[in-house]
Amino acid sequence: MDGGDWSVYISDDIASPAAVAVDLQYRQVERIPSYPMLVTVELKLQHPRENGLPQKDESEIIYALEDRLVSQSESIGDIRFVGHKLSDGQARYFFYASNASAMTGIIETARKQFPSYVIDQHVIQDTSWSVYRHVLAPSGDNLQQAEDNKVIQKLTSLGDDISLPRLIHHFAYFSSPTELQNFKAAILADGFHVDNETTSDQVDGKLPIRFSRRDAPSEITSVTVKLTHLAEEFSGDYDGWESPPAKGIRTP
């Protein structure tokens, strides 16, 4: 998945969890008129786990098929791969196209390359990109998880062992000194250290606070989700984190 703004997250539906990879570059785009057709390619897993997610051996098949579909669609053009969803014993790949017929030959080739698997194709008109926005694009706590995973992916690419605890710095912004101080009291009680705060220097009209605690990046989403809700409780905005071993890497 070269290019784009890719991230992954696991949905919080315990009964039917889903592993989603999505290109976030389209998150703020309501629709792209020149790509009105949604083509969904479905691969039926042969040995899914009890929760419907793939086992390790079939994960290799899933990504091999994805690589084939994406590389061939890119060679044709006028097709945009926006993500995949793994759930309920299936892998689903989502493409928006100017002409859905362009995918037909690609899918037929894939069926020949993976003859032991059932590969289906579904085509609908989705001019508003509603499937992308409501099925793939994360929201709420899933959005925070997706942003965290973007940083974790960068740390991992640098050879960082994300299971090792280290001092992680966090950032938040508040509209008033009172709200900032209330937030500060709450995070101090939760073991954080305040690195920097100010009641004079504002950023876009808001007061910043920088604070830190030792945590492992592999477990960071449980921390950031809590901080996001805590900041909202005091009418503030949580603005991400950075890990010192990989300087400059920070959630958007």
Instruction: List the chain pLDDT tens, one digit each, 252 residues.
Output: 557 889 999 986 767 899 999 999 998 887 788 999 999 999 999 999 999 999 999 999 999 999 999 999 998 888 999 999 999 999 999 999 998 888 999 999 999 999 999 999 999 999 999 999 999 999 889 999 999 999 998 898 888 899 999 999 999 999 999 999 999 999 999 999 999 876 556 666 789 999 999 999 999 999 999 999 999 999 999 999 998 654 445 555
Structure-block tokens of residue 69: 């579909």
What 8-state DSSP symbol labels residue 113? H
Tokens 């709450």, residue? 186
Q: What angle do CA 225, 166, 7 make, to 5 degrees?
A: 45
Structure-block tokens of residue 17: 């969890």
pLDDT at 228 (0 to 100):
96
pLDDT at 198 (0 to 100):
63
What 8-state DSSP symbol labels residue 73? H
| CA proximity to 82, closest of 143, 131, 10 | 131
What 8-state DSSP symbol labels residue 50? T
pLDDT at 159 (0 to 100):
87
pLDDT at 31 (0 to 100):
75
Q: What share of residues in the chain are helix, strand, coil (percent, to 5)? A: 35, 30, 35
CA distance 217 to 71: 32
CA distances from 77 to 81, 115, 141 (A): 11, 26, 34
Q: By three-state DSSP, how is residue 39 classified? A: strand
